[in-house]
């Protein structure tokens, strides 16, 4: 399962660099070139549950302001897509 995201990063350079380093340290995430406060990334996971987990992990990182999901490809996912009613919103 593949997901493209746009990660909005804190404007403080030190906080931003720490968040980016943590994100880039994950094997399931490949980042693109940062454009201002936006870091494009592709997340590759085996199933929707793992995708939800890694996306929430990114959102909770110090220095991440917001994560926009741009595209999701369910092909090759080990499980059926997550039901919207099963997702716990904050």
CB-based contacts of 75, cutoff 8 Å, min separation 6? 1
**Residue 89 confidence (pLDDT):** 40
Supply the pLDDT for residue 20: 97
Q: For residue 77, what pLDDT is reported?
A: 55
**CA distance linking residue 23 with residue 61, whole number of Å:** 9
Residue-wise burial string across 59-87, b where 16 or more C-beta atoms lie within 10 A, e elsewhere: eebebbeebeeeeeeeeebeeeeeeeeee
Fold of 2-86: Alpha-Beta Plaits (3.30.70)
- Mean pLDDT, the chain, as a whole number? 86
Per-residue pLDDT for 36 more than 80?
yes
Residue 70 pLDDT more than 80? yes
CB 31 within 8 A of CB 20: yes
Alpha-carbon distance of 81 to 47, in angstroms, equals 8
Rounded CA-CA distance 65/49 in Å is: 22
What predicted TM-score, i.e. pTM, was given to this entire model?
Answer: 0.80
Whole-number pLDDT of residue 72? 87
pLDDT range class, residue 31, cuts 50, 70, 90:
very high
């Amino acid at each position: 399962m593949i997901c493209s995201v746009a990660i909005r990063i804190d404007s403080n350079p030190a906080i931003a660099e720490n968040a980016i380093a943590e994100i880039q340290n994950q094997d399931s995430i490949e980042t693109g070139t940062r454009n201002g406060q936006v870091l494009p990334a592709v997340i590759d996971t085996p199933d929707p549950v793992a995708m939800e987990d890694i996306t929430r992990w990114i959102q909770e990182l110090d220095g991440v302001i917001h994560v926009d999901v741009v595209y999701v490809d369910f092909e090759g996912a080990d499980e059926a897509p997550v039901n919207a009613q099963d997702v716990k919103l904050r």
